[in-house]
Amino acid sequence: MDLPVAIITGAGRGIGRASAIELARRDYRLVLVSRTESELQRTAALCGGTCQVVVADVCLADAADQVVRQAMSNFGRVDAFVHCAGVALLRTVEQMTPQEWQSTLDTNLSAVFHFCRRLWPIWRKQGGGVAVNVSSFSARDPFAGLGAYGAAKAGVNLLGLALAREGREINVRVHTVAPAATETAMFRSLFGPEQYPRQETLDPAEVARVIVQCIAGDLAHTSGEVIYLRKSAKFPPS
């Protein structure tokens, strides 16, 4: 039997890289996606095993077609999709440009639609699949200046529920994992250690383990639900 295959966006660092490492330990063949090839190559080296590196910007609608097409060409199947790619800008409504707003929505939310739309017929034919989308505590309690990010992640939460309901008939599960402050480069670009000491943040590996539990079926009954992860009483984005 062929080893399972997972597509991971945002795989060059943070939660995406940690998820790739966890899945590699479970003998998954990996399709690693981000905009920066050098970061993807580093992730592939850390994972070992079989990794396909795909440089793509998931805020573009045709990125999903490119990634899924290459995955199917190389491996002939896709068993799991993990959407970790994200962008968060600290902007008030007066400061944010229309282009920044659209990029925030496209990267965090629209990419989920594009990938699931492309994967759905594959999963229908295969008899099942799993999607895990990384949301954020900001979806329900955003700081001032994170309105676009919080709105996009709230959309991820609702879309995940709708997709989970649609997926039942074809054995597709859709999980949403929403961590609070997580020690990632994106988080640190917004908040310094004087605002959020490291001991108050989640480690990306902690989030990745929950993602893998969703894929493996340990948390199968949470399909459609939002799994909130929290270490601190403060709720900045992941």
pLDDT in tens, 191-207: 898 888 888 889 999 99
Vertex 113 angle, CA 129 and 6, to 5°: 35
pLDDT at residue 185, as a whole number: 87
What Å distances lie between residue 152 and 6, 40, 88, CA to CA? 24, 25, 10
Average of per-residue pLDDT across 135-163: 95
% of the chain residues with pLDDT over 90: 85
pLDDT at residue 194, as a whole number: 85
pLDDT at residue 1, as a whole number: 62
Domains of the chain: 5-229 (3.40.50.720)
pLDDT at 235 over 80: no
Average of per-residue pLDDT across 163-178: 98
pLDDT in tens, 4-50: 999 999 999 999 999 999 999 999 999 999 999 999 999 999 999 89
Separation CA 104–CA 110 (nearest Å): 9
